C-alpha cells in the first residue's frame, strides 16, 4: 500500500475535495475561492482527506476538515489540523476560528474553545461560512495561535 502524503491542494484537486465534502454533508461555498489554502491527504491518486484556511487579516477560519470513511480513526484528521495550525502561524495569524455542527468535541484537543458567535471578528463575516453556508446553530470555536 502506498504511503499517505499530505500536501497543498492543487486546482485539479477541487472536484475530489468537493466530493468528500458532499459525502459528509459539508458546504461547498467558498471552497474553490480558498483552495490555495487547503491541504489534502493523498494515497496514490486518491484524495482521502482535506481541510483549509480562510485568511482575513490576522484572523483565520479553519474550514472543511473532512476525512474519507476508510481513513477515519488513523490520525489523518489530526495531522491535517496540526499542519493547518502550523500554516496559520507561518501566515502570521493571531487567532483561528471554526464553525462545526458535528465535531465540537474533537477540536478542544487542539486548543480550541467554544465562544459565542458574537465573539467573531467582523472581517470573518466576509466568509461564505458565516454568510449562510454553515447554519446559525453551528458551534463557534477559537484558538489563539502561538499559545
Contacts of 3 (CB under 8 A, 6+ apart): 43
Q: Is the pLDDT of residue 22 over 90?
A: yes
pLDDT in tens, 89-129: 999 999 999 999 888 999 999 999 999 988 888 888 888 77
Per the structure, the count of domains in the chain is: 1
pLDDT score of 130 more than 90:
no
| CATH number reported for the structural domain that contains residue 67 in this entry | 3.40.630.30
The answer on pLDDT for 147 being more than 70 is no
Instruction: Give the rounded percent of residues in the chain with a pLDDT score beyond 70.
Output: 94
Which of these, 24, 37, 47, lies nearest to 102 by C-alpha position? 24
| pTM for this entry | 0.91
Count of all residues that appear for the chain in the document: 147
- For 113, the domain range is 4-144
Lowest average pLDDT, out of 1-5, 86-90, 124-128, goes to 1-5
Name the grid cell of 115: 465562544
User: If you average pLDDT over every residue of the chain, what do you get?
Assistant: 90
Cα–Cα dist 36/89, whole Å: 16
Whole-number Å distance between alpha carbons of 59 and 54: 9
**Phi, psi angle pair for 15, to nearest 5°:** -60, -45
Whole-number pLDDT of residue 63: 93
Amino acid at each position: 500500500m502506498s504511503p499517505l502524503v499530505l500536501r497543498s491542494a492543487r486546482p485539479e484537486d477541487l472536484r475530489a475535495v468537493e466530493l468528500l465534502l458532499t459525502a459528509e454533508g459539508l458546504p461547498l461555498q467558498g471552497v474553490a475561492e480558498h483552495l490555495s489554502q487547503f491541504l489534502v491527504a493523498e494515497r496514490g491518486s486518491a484524495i482521502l482527506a482535506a481541510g483549509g484556511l480562510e485568511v482575513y487579516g490576522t484572523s483565520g477560519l479553519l474550514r472543511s476538515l473532512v476525512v474519507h470513511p476508510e481513513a477515519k480513526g488513523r490520525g489523518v484528521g489530526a495531522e491535517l489540523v496540526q499542519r493547518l495550525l502550523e500554516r496559520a502561524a507561518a501566515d502570521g495569524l493571531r487567532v483561528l476560528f471554526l464553525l462545526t455542527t458535528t465535531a465540537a468535541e474533537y477540536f478542544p484537543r487542539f486548543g480550541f474553545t467554544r465562544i459565542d458567535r458574537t465573539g467573531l471578528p467582523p472581517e470573518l463575516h466576509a466568509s461564505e461560512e458565516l454568510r449562510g453556508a454553515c447554519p446559525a446553530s453551528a458551534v463557534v470555536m477559537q484558538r489563539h495561535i502561538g499559545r
